[in-house]
């Protein structure tokens, strides 16, 4: 069995052609779609690059970490490390008149405080020993003018004690 078709003698109408302005607009939209896809792809690639940089930034290597830590150390921390690396010397600081046993002498270098027991032999870094020695020398030199057991030329070559008698 075959289907019969009825013909009116005129061909079927051709599909309607879009107007030239519409064709132009369709082409422009398609071009814009392509540009948008290209830009989206470029943005995605850039995001991947930035993500990789962020990961690299968040996980610095050990050399970078050492530099950062060293830069942020205080003078006191640096001095502490310096003192602990120095050779040690044994010293004994005598008690001053009227000081009780257990008295201490604080020595501060660049903000790092080093406390030394008096009247006891202790090992201290060389630099601390030098500071203590210089301090004791200055104190001794300053006290020379007030000693009463030294002969003074202004007193006729006799000691102050003798002049007072």
Whether 40 is covered by a domain: the verdict is: yes
Taking alpha carbons only, the member of 103, 96, 136, 140 closest to residue 120 is: 103
The answer on 156 and 79 residing in a single domain is yes
Do 93 and 28 share a structural domain? no
If asked whether residues 156 and 84 sit together in one domain, one would say yes
C-alpha distances (whole Å) from 31 to each of 27, 36, 141, 152 are 6, 9, 95, 109
Q: How many domains are contained in the chain?
A: 2
Provide CB contacts within 8 A for 76, sequence distance 6+: 110, 111, 112
**Model pLDDT, residue 6:** 57
State the pLDDT at residue 11: 67
Q: What is the pLDDT of residues 64-95, one digit of tens each?
A: 777 777 777 788 888 999 999 999 999 999 99
Per the model's pLDDT, the better-predicted residue between 72 and 2 turns out to be 72
Residue 11 covered by a domain:
no
Q: Are residues 43 and 116 in the same domain?
A: no
What are 130-148's pLDDT values in tens digits? Answer: 999 998 888 888 877 666 6
Full-model pTM: 0.48
Output the pLDDT for position 106.
Answer: 93
Are 78 and 110 within 8 A, CB to CB? yes
Range with the poorest average pLDDT among 81-90, 120-129, 145-154: 145-154
What's the pLDDT score for residue 71? 76
32 found inside a domain: yes
- Residue 25's domain spans which residues? 19-59
- Do 79 and 54 belong to one domain? no
Of residues 96 and 72, more confidently modeled: 96
Note the pLDDT of residue 111: 87
Other CB atoms within 10 Å distance of the CB of residue 136? 14
- Assigned domain for 55 exists: yes
Give the mean pLDDT of the chain: 81
More confident residue, 156 or 28: 28
Task: With residue 54 as reference, give the H or E element that holds it.
Answer: helix 20-58
């Amino acid at each position: 069995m075959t289907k019969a078709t009825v013909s009116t003698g005129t061909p079927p109408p051709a599909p309607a052609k879009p107007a030239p302005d519409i064709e132009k607009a369709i082409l422009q939209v398609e071009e814009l779609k392509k540009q948008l896809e290209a830009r989206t792809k470029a943005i995605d690639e850039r995001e991947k690059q930035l993500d990789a940089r962020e990961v690299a930034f968040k996980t610095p290597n050990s050399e970078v970490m050492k530099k950062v830590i060293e830069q942020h150390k205080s003078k006191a921390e640096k001095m502490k490390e310096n003192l602990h690396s120095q050779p040690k010397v044994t010293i004994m600081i005598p008690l001053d008149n009227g000081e009780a046993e257990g008295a201490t002498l604080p020595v501060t270098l660049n903000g790092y405080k080093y406390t030394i027991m008096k009247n006891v032999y202790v090992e201290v870094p060389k630099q601390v020993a030098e500071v203590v020695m210089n301090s004791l020398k200055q104190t001794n030199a300053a006290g020379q003018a007030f000693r009463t057991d030294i002969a003074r030329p202004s007193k006729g070559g006799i000691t102050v004690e003798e002049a007072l008698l």
